[in-house]
Amino acid sequence: MTDAPSDDAAAPRDFIRQIIADDLAAERLPHGLVTRFPPEPNGFLHIGHALSISLNFGVTDENGGQTYLRFDDTNPVKERQEFADAIGDDVRWLGYHWSAGLTHASDYFERLYEAAVTLIERGDAYVDSLSAEDIRAYRGTLTETGKDSPHRSRSVEENLDLFRRMRAGEFGDGEHVLRAKIDMASPNINLRDPTLYRIRHASHQRTGDAWSIYPMYDFAHTLCDIFEGITHSLCTLEFEDHRPLYEWLVERIPHEYPPRQIEFSRLAVAYMVTSKRRLSALVEEGHVTGWDDPRMPTLAGLRRRGYPAEALRRFCHQVGITKKDKLIELGMLEAAVRDTLGSAPRRLAVVDPLKVTLTNVPEGDTEWLEASNHPNEPEQGTRKVPLTRTVWIERDDFLEEAPRKFFRLKPGGEVRLRYAYIIRCDEVVKDDNGNVVELKCSVDMDTRSGGASDRKVKGTIHWVSAEHSLPATINLYDRLFREAEPARLENWQAAINPDSLTVRQGWVEPALADVAVGDAVQFERLGYFTPDTTTTDDAIVFNRVVTLRDSWAKLEREALAGINAEA
Ligand code: ATP
Ligand code: MG
């Protein structure tokens, strides 16, 4: 592929890649390696899906072979085309492409029906007419075996007739189901005659009203794997107990190559929820502004937040594929983002402005000073930043009652304005309530950055010219949850961080007018930022992607040590 992700020099190694390497070495794959990523279009993809995507598409990028993007659209009640479109966008954005094509389980509805007929003809499936409630009662429990439905012994002819009429729409929802005839006494509940088809008089986003029966996930998924010649069906650990059913179906349905299901552990990241049910609740209950809210762990949200696709791929490689469930530090994800953004151009912006008047700079004067675009990458060149009589500095870079080791600005103290001069704070102006509203400072004109003077002060702060800078709305994001593992809590919504978003009205240097959505810059001393998708010619909006340092690292490590030890 053209946009082949090649973030880490060494290809990742894990038990699934080892199995694939062995199969290839032994020439067990006559048609090559074939994988699929099978999302259900009932929500947006989240960071957990990124791991599955990077595995399924990654192994064919690395070894040759084909990958399908296959929508598992078997439940028309919950699925929407809008979600399918968003999923396609996300996969492409992550840097992958479906070399084998984009398919839908619904593309195979006719073949799935035929396969069900084959099972009935073999005596491996029957139409059951028990109520949903009775089916549940007959199924038994983990400690109690199930018992046979009275309809289990229907003749093949009767089953074929009923199933045909189910399809024809002769019955109401729930009147009958088609079940596999396996073993009601199996210790594995998934083998106790699982339902294969149910009646659902619902319009499907792709097939309209053509069908009044819809296949169940396990049946549809296994059969689609067979139809598409999938060699390695990679899924998460919760499907481990379904594997015997997968294999039972593969044995009975004609295939060219028997697909093999292999499970790996789900990605779970601290301070995030990653289940579409909960993500959908966050949207519907209004805790966030939408699926692409920059606080959401959805790929659309992380993208809008400014996380580069490369950082997510890098993170997935670092997490790796294992069989062991563990909670991954959010700090590890943020570190991957910082590593990826290391070359972002440096810029000056003030998010919480305090006015400073430089008393010995004449009104109306502008001095254009040279500022480097990256301290360690001179090839990025320089730009000019304007210095004027009035500038903005960060409110917390001034303290009236400063401790001795405070090396920023204090009354009578000195500090360097980045790329400019050393200034001294001569006077503090307050309003009637005693709030500091302005500082009057004088500039030591002999101390221009890069000039002859080698006079030094301990602190350097960032600033922008009041006259030339542009007003900007700046969204400072923090983690969406206060608890490391919110999904564990009964009332997980209560763990939502009320301070997950702080909106500031700040000022940014003129060069920041031209940053494109999707590009990132470093606001010096503040973090990495990217224009929000709502940025227009009249309104500049920046999202903080990530801070420059992980201030939570120690706390998080302690919290997770406990949780992962327990797991
Ligand atoms: P959710 O539980 O969030 O609703 P899902 O498993 O129902 O997710 P699907 O759309 O069915 O969502 O998932 C598509 C694929 O992504 C599946 O193969 C699934 O195993 C994988 N997947 C889902 N969540 C994760 C995760 N957290 N880590 C790794 N893979 C995941
Ligand atoms: Mg699922």
pLDDT, tens digit (0-9, with 9 covering 90-100), for 361-414? 999 999 999 999 999 999 999 999 999 999 999 999 999 999 988 999 999 999
* Residue 370's CATH number: 2.40.240.10
Reduce the DSSP state of residue 357 to 3 states and report it: strand
Q: Which pLDDT belongs to residue 187?
A: 96
Sign, Cα dihedral of 176, 177, 182, 188: negative
Please check whether residue 148 lies inside any domain of the structure.
Answer: yes
For the question of residue 509 being annotated catalytic, the response is no
Q: Which pLDDT belongs to residue 449?
A: 92
Q: Give CA–CA dist 440/411, Å, rounded.
A: 10
Cβ-contact 357, 440 below 8 angstroms: yes
Catalytic member of 92, 200, 266, 418: 266
Q: Give CA–CA dist 417/449, Å, rounded.
A: 9
Q: How far apart are the first and last CA of the chain?
A: 39
Report the nearest-CA residue for atom 15 of ligand 1: 39
Distance 275 CA to ligand 2 centre (A): 9
Cβ-contact 479, 269 below 8 angstroms: no
Distance 76 CA to ligand 2 centre (A): 14
Do 534 and 553 share a domain, yes or no? yes
Do 490 and 537 share a domain, yes or no? yes
Distances (CA, A) of 206 to 71, 98, 219: 11, 20, 19
Q: Give CA–CA dist 512/213, Å, rounded.
A: 56
Rg (CA), the chain: 30
Q: Give CA–CA dist 62/56, Å, rounded.
A: 10
Q: End of a domain among 419, 438, 461?
A: 461
DSSP H or E stretch at residue 89? helix 81-94
Do 235 and 322 share a domain, yes or no? yes
**Range(s) of the domain holding residue 567:** 270-306+472-567
Q: End of a domain among 426, 461, 496?
A: 461
Q: Give CA–CA dist 271/297, Å, rounded.
A: 10
* Residue 115's CATH number: 3.90.800.10
For the question of residue 40 being annotated catalytic, the response is yes
The count of C-alpha atoms lying within 13 angstroms of the C-alpha of 219, restricted to the half-sphere facing its C-beta, is: 27
Q: Which atom of ligand 1 is nearest to the CA of 40?
A: 10
Protein residues with CB under 6 Å of any ligand 1 atom: 38-40, 48-49, 51-52, 235-236, 266-267, 274-276
Q: Which pLDDT belongs to residue 560?
A: 79
Distance 22 CA to ligand 2 centre (A): 29
DSSP H or E stretch at residue 245? helix 243-252
Report the nearest-CA residue for atom 9 of ligand 1: 39
Please check whether residue 344 lies inside any domain of the structure.
Answer: no
Q: Which atom of ligand 1 is nearest to the CA of 53?
A: 16
Cβ-contact 257, 31 below 8 angstroms: yes
Domain count, the chain: 4
Collect the ranges in the chain with pLDDT lower than 70.
1-11, 551-553, 567
Q: Give CA–CA dist 496/480, Å, rounded.
A: 6
Distances (CA, A) of 373 to 344, 387, 397: 9, 17, 23
Its pTM stands at 0.93
Distance 83 CA to ligand 2 centre (A): 14
Distance 45 CA to ligand 1 centre (A): 8
Q: Which pLDDT belongs to residue 161?
A: 98
Closest ligand, as measured to the CA of 277: 1
Please check whether residue 338 lies inside any domain of the structure.
Answer: no
Do 355 and 429 share a domain, yes or no? yes
Q: Give CA–CA dist 544/521, Å, rounded.
A: 10
Q: Which pLDDT belongs to residue 1?
A: 37
Report the nearest-CA residue for atom 14 of ligand 1: 39
Best residue among 35, 46, 52 to mutate for probing ligand 1's pocket (most ligand atoms within 8 Å of CB) is: 52
Do 329 and 222 share a domain, yes or no? yes
Closest ligand, as measured to the CA of 42: 1
Question: Bridge partners of 429?
Answer: 438
* Residue 264's CATH number: 3.40.50.620
Please check whether residue 65 lies inside any domain of the structure.
Answer: yes
Closest ligand, as measured to the CA of 275: 1
Please check whether residue 486 lies inside any domain of the structure.
Answer: yes
Do 294 and 375 share a domain, yes or no? no
Do 239 and 95 share a domain, yes or no? yes
Reduce the DSSP state of residue 133 to 3 states and report it: helix
Do 20 and 44 share a domain, yes or no? yes
Do 453 and 536 share a domain, yes or no? no
